[in-house]
């Protein structure tokens, strides 16, 4: 790379922030343009009424996710295993009692990040040497003009760069960003067919003043084919002094408002875990269909469709446009690990 090249990163999720952090360690300055009013993208930890870190987005990872684990170590962030001790429940039919099962102590447990996954985002933003992060900056078009790229923002602002690295999901690139000159036809055909992992998912969290389920021998883990909650896990914090659940709701839940979704969730948990489940301190949920994650109705036939596609590894606009982001990763695409793998790969491309 030539010295003093100006690099713009589109998207302030895990991939964009990891890329900015890794490049800043090499003394390479970047500017992040983020469309929304917050950093993190598909990572979003909120604080409950008792300050419990509650995950509306990415939560778990395993020992296989070695790039994520080494980044956490480098940033001095702690991981801890997902609680799974005690009776877990599997509900097949709403009119039959749930089956009870015990999750064996695993060689490969799922982990969570102490203080919430957002701690990773906040720490990356803090440790990136150059503080060039622009929120509320939605990229609308990228135009190659001579040896530069001009990046136009929804509100009319423009930024000029030598290189632009797009970390937003490829499906969004296809529907939201105009290119001049237009991109290769083969790429234009692939972009809308790349599945954005977890787009459309509905995640819920509950906060409680005590871990009543633990005290009664339950793990808090639930799988159900019968109720609005399809999967649920204990969501106690690292220090084990704040309590809750997190999990996923079935797709049909989108047709109810949040108050009704809460009512259905509590009814199901009340039947399975008893009346103490009926009185949480707080309930939150998020349907991941907003314009920063999904656009239109993409035709996706299988999970992770076209993730890591070879065309996403190439350079465009005469080497001035590169793709990053978890969906471009050739391994663990869709996951936090993939977001970091992609950022490492682009870093190596830029510094070599």
Ligand X SMILES: Cc1cc2nc3c(=O)[nH]c(=O)nc-3n(C[C@H](O)[C@H](O)[C@H](O)COP(=O)(O)OP(=O)(O)OC[C@H]3O[C@@H](n4cnc5c(N)ncnc54)[C@H](O)[C@@H]3O)c2cc1C
Name the site residues for ligand X (rule: CB under 6 A).
10-16, 33-36, 41-43, 57-61, 138-139, 167-169, 172, 176, 197-198, 201, 203, 288, 292-293, 325-326, 334-336, 338-339
CB 193 within 8 A of CB 296: no
Smaller CB separation from ligand X, 98 or 325: 325
Smaller CB separation from ligand X, 88 or 167: 167
Query: What angle is formed at CA 314 by the lines to CA 309 and CA 317, rounded to 5 degrees?
Result: 130
Smaller CB separation from ligand X, 125 or 129: 125
Alpha helices in the chain (DSSP H): 14-25, 66-74, 118-127, 170-176, 185-190, 212-215, 258-273, 336-351
Smaller CB separation from ligand X, 28 or 120: 120
Minimum Å gap between C-beta 123 and ligand X is: 15
DSSP label at 132?
-
Could you check whether the bond before residue 233 is cis, i.e. omega within 30 degrees of 0? Answer: no
CB 177 within 8 A of CB 142: yes
Q: What is the dihedral of CA 152, 157, 162, 168, to 10 degrees?
A: -50
Minimum Å gap between C-beta 55 and ligand X is: 8
Minimum Å gap between C-beta 347 and ligand X is: 14
| Residue 127 burial by Cβ neighbours in a 10 Å radius (0-12, 13-18, 19+) | middle
Minimum Å gap between C-beta 287 and ligand X is: 9
Smaller CB separation from ligand X, 168 or 312: 168
Smaller CB separation from ligand X, 110 or 209: 110
Minimum Å gap between C-beta 48 and ligand X is: 17
Minimum Å gap between C-beta 11 and ligand X is: 3
- CA 88: distance to chain centroid? 26
């Amino acid at each position: 790379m030539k010295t003093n090249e100006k690099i713009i990163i589109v998207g302030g999720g895990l991939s964009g922030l990891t890329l900015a952090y890794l490049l800043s360690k090499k003394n390479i300055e970047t500017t992040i343009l983020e469309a929304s009013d917050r950093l993190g993208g598909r990572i979003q930890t909120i604080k409950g009424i008792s300050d419990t870190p509650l995950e509306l987005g990415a939560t778990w990872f395993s020992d296989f996710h070695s790039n994520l684990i080494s980044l956490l170590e480098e940033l001095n962030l702690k991981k801890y295993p997902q609680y799974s001790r005690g009776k877990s429940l599997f509900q097949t039919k709403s009119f039959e009692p749930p089956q009870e099962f015990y999750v064996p102590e695993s060689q490969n447990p799922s982990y969570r990040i102490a203080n919430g996954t957002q701690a990773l985002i906040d720490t990356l933003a803090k440790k990136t040497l150059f503080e060039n992060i622009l929120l509320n900056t939605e990229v609308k078009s990228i135009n190659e003009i001579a040896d530069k790229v001009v990046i136009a923002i929804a509100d009319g602002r423009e930024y000029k760069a030598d290189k632009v690295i797009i970390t937003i999901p490829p499906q969004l690139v296809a529907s939201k960003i105009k290119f001049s000159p237009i991109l290769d036809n083969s790429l234009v055909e692939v972009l809308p067919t790349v599945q954005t992992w977890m787009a459309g998912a509905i995640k819920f969290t509950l906060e409680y003043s005590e871990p009543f389920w633990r005290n009664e021998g339950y793990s808090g883990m639930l799988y159900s084919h019968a109720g609005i909650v399809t999967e649920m896990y204990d969501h106690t914090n690292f220090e084990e002094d704040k309590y809750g659940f997190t999990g996923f709701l079935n797709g049909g839940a989108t047709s109810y408002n949040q108050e009704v979704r809460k009512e259905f969730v509590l009814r199901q948990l009340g039947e399975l875990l008893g009346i103490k489940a009926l009185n949480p301190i707080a309930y939150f949920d998020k349907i991941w269909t907003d314009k920063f994650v999904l656009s239109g109705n993409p035709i996706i036939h299988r999970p992770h469709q076209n993730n890591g596609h070879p065309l996403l590894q190439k350079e465009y606009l005469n080497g001035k446009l590169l793709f990053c982001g978890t969906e471009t990763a050739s391994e663990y695409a869709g996951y936090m690990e993939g977001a970091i793998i992609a950022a490492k790969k682009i870093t190596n491309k830029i510094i070599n």
